[in-house]
């Protein structure tokens, strides 16, 4: 428990109205999308960067642990106060778009800005911010940066790290640093911004973000391919991309997912199909769009596609995308508890990976529907179990551990989007050598020698 004198001092620092220790606030900030609960001792709402600096300096001097938090939409517990202490909530006050610089095609934002809000505002002036996590309607840019979030458009446009040009951040001792510049090129000094992106709030608290923007493409079209087998669909993914196709997205649903969506929503999906691939193409001229669609159709059909459909209008495109956007909620027909992992493998290894998932599903007697961003090798692998069946839950977690082992063996990674946080921390030693883990810990110690900032995360302890 935090001593009452510290609560009193923090209220003096940033205002009584911005320091909360009532039960309602403590419960509200005790969980995230994992549904696990870790109750903090205190929740604080800094008004600006100066507040963040003073809070961190005070906490560092008094060895009070502190966990930065955005919208709390994470799937791995990155924003959970695992060691109690203070939750530093950035979404209440630090949520402004500070600048949209059309000449340099950048946006400067505070960490609490909602992803979709930024997309809407830059599109009003003909610009485009591509990273689009599934949580874009409510996740914050600060959280996206801290977890290096991806999204459906990553196949063509990359992920959050590809758009972060500069950051302002506060170190655990209260020092304020500037990492990066507004310039397109900057090779002076170490890439501190690169270290902070994806660091899950363990190294510093990000207070301002400068993001690269693109010109918004004028045109887009949606296509869907139906395949007899998962193998055929996965071959089509990497053959298309290697053959010159450049889709915005290449999304995948396996048979279990197709059946779940159809059972729940009755959209006329081909329930006998082994897999569906959904793609978006964008560009500025019709010829460019038509050429890309012709490439997709060619490579899809060469790899077992039995039906290739191009949406005639926005309504038909929305109908095609409906299945993918509702996949996650649909698969709950297979179990009341979802163990959701965001495995990512080299694209050429997708057929092997999904064969192994099928084998593991049978071995542990659990259903494992898969869907996701196969354009970048990122497969949402969902082990579905009965939340009231302890034996099934145990088998589910054993299945996940074996899936992680296979993933590492074929050159993949534990996470393509959600980060490590608490839930994947035990598997870090599986994915990294002892020397690499020691280096991670030395980086953490260099930024945060007293280990006050988001302790217990990423397997660093």
Per DSSP bridges, beta strands 106-109 and 86-89 are: unpaired
Max CA pair span of the chain:
71
Quick check: is 437 in a domain? no
Domain range for 185: 97-215
pLDDT for 76 equals: 95
How many domains does the structure of the chain reveal? 4
* Domain assignment present for 434: no
- Tell whether 294 is covered by a domain: yes
For residue 325, what is the domain's CATH number?
Answer: 3.30.70.2190
Q: Are residues 197 and 118 in the same domain?
A: yes
Vertex 161 angle, CA 158 and 164, to 5°? 115
Residue ranges of the chain whose pLDDT lies below 70: none
Burial of 106: CB neighbours in 10 Å, binned 0-12, 13-18, 19+: buried
C-alpha to C-alpha distance for 435 and 32, rounded to whole angstroms:
32
The whole-number pLDDT of residue 406 equals 97
Per DSSP, the three-state class of 158 is coil
- The runs of H, that is alpha helices, within 173-278 are 192-196, 230-242, 255-265
Whether 317 maps to a domain, the answer reads yes
The tens digit of pLDDT for each residue in 34-65 reads 889 999 999 999 999 999 999 999 999 999 99
Whether residues 239 and 287 fall in one domain: yes
Residue 434 burial (C-beta neighbours within 10 Å; 0-12, 13-18, 19+):
exposed
Domain annotation covers residue 461: no
Distance between CA atoms of residues 250 and 281, nearest Å: 9
- The model's pTM is 0.94
Q: Is residue 13 part of a domain?
A: yes
Identify the pLDDT of residue 461: 84
In contact, 226 and 300? CB cutoff 8 Å = no
122: which 2 tokens?
Answer: 């830059």
Residue 1: predicted pLDDT: 83
Pick from 183, 215, 247: which residue ends a domain? 215
In a domain, 36, yes or no: yes
Question: Quick one: 421 and 364 in the same domain?
Answer: yes
Residues 101 and 201 grouped into a single domain: yes
Residues 41 and 120 reside in one and the same domain: no
Task: Supply the pLDDT for residue 35.
Answer: 84
Residue 448 in any domain: the answer is no
Strand order across the 106-109 sheet: 97-101, 106-109, 205-212, 164-170, 176-180
Same domain for 107 and 196?
yes
- Does residue 416 share a domain with residue 351? yes
What are the DSSP calls for 379-399, one per residue? EEEEEEE-TT-HHHHHHHHHH
Residues 151 and 197 in one domain: yes
Residue 164 and residue 192: Cα distance in Å, rounded? 11
Give every CB contact of residue 221 below 8 A, 6+ residues apart in sequence.
280, 281, 282, 289, 293, 310, 311, 317
The strand pair at 106-109 and 205-212 is best described as antiparallel
If asked whether residues 247 and 295 sit together in one domain, one would say: yes
CATH of the domain at 183: 3.30.465.10
CATH code, 43: 3.30.43.10
Residues 180 and 283 in one domain: no
CATH at residue 349: 3.30.70.2740
* pLDDT tens digits for range 93-126: 999 999 999 999 999 999 999 999 999 999 999 9
225 shares a domain with 196: no
29 and 9 together in one domain: yes
């Amino acid at each position: 428990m935090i001593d009452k004198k510290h609560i009193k001092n923090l209220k003096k620092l940033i205002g009584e109205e911005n320091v909360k220790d009532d039960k309602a606030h403590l419960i509200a900030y005790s969980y995230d999308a994992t549904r696990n609960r870790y109750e903090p001792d205190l929740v604080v709402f800094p008004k600006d960067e100066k507040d963040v600096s003073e809070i961190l300096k005070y906490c560092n001097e008094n060895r009070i642990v502190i966990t930065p938090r955005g919208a709390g939409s994470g799937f791995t517990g990155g924003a959970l106060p695992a060691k109690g202490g203070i939750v530093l909530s950035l979404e209440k006050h630090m949520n402004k778009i500070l600048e949209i610089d059309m000449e340099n095609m950048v946006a400067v934002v505070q960490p609490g800005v909602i992803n979709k809000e930024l997309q809407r505002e830059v599109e009003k002036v003909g610009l485009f911010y591509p990273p689009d996590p599934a949580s874009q309607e409510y996740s914050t840019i600060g959280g996206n940066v801290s977890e290096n979030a991806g999204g459906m458009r990553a196949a063509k446009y990359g992920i959050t790290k590809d758009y972060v040009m500069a950051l302002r951040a506060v170190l655990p001792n209260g020092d304020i640093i500037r990492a990066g510049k507004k310039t397109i090129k900057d090779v002076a000094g170490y890439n501190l911004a690169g270290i902070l992106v994806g660091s899950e709030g363990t190294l510093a608290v990000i207070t301002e973000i400068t993001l690269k923007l693109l010109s918004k493409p004028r045109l887009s079209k949606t296509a869907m391919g139906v395949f007899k087998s998962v193998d055929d669909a996965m071959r089509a993914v990497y053959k298309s991309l290697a053959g010159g196709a450049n889709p915005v997205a290449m999304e995948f649903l396996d048979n279990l997912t197709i059946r779940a969506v159809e059972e729940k929503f009755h959209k006329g999906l081909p329930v006998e199909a082994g897999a569906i691939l959904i793609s978006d193409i964008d560009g500025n001229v019709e010829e460019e769009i038509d050429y890309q669609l012709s490439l997709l159709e060619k490579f899809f059909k060469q790899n077992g596609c039995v039906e290739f459909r191009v949406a005639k209008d926005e309504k038909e495109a929305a109908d095609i995308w409906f299945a993918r956007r509702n996949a996650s909620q649909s698969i709950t027909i297979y179990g009341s508890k979802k163990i959701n992992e965001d495995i990512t493998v080299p694209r050429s290894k997708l057929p092997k990976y999904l064969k192994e998932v099928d084998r593991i599903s049978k071995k542990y007697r659990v259903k494992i529907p898969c869907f996701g961003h196969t354009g970048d090798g990122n497969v949402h692998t969902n082990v579905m179990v009965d939340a009231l069946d302890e034996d099934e839950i145990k088998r589910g977690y054993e299945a996940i551990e074996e899936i992680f082992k296979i993933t590492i063996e074929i050159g993949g990674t534990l996470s393509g989007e959600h980060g490590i946080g608490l839930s994947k921390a035990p598997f870090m030693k599986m994915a990294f050598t002892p020397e690499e883990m020691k280096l991670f810990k030395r980086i953490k110690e260099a930024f945060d020698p007293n280990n006050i900032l988001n302790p217990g995360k990423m397997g660093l302890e």
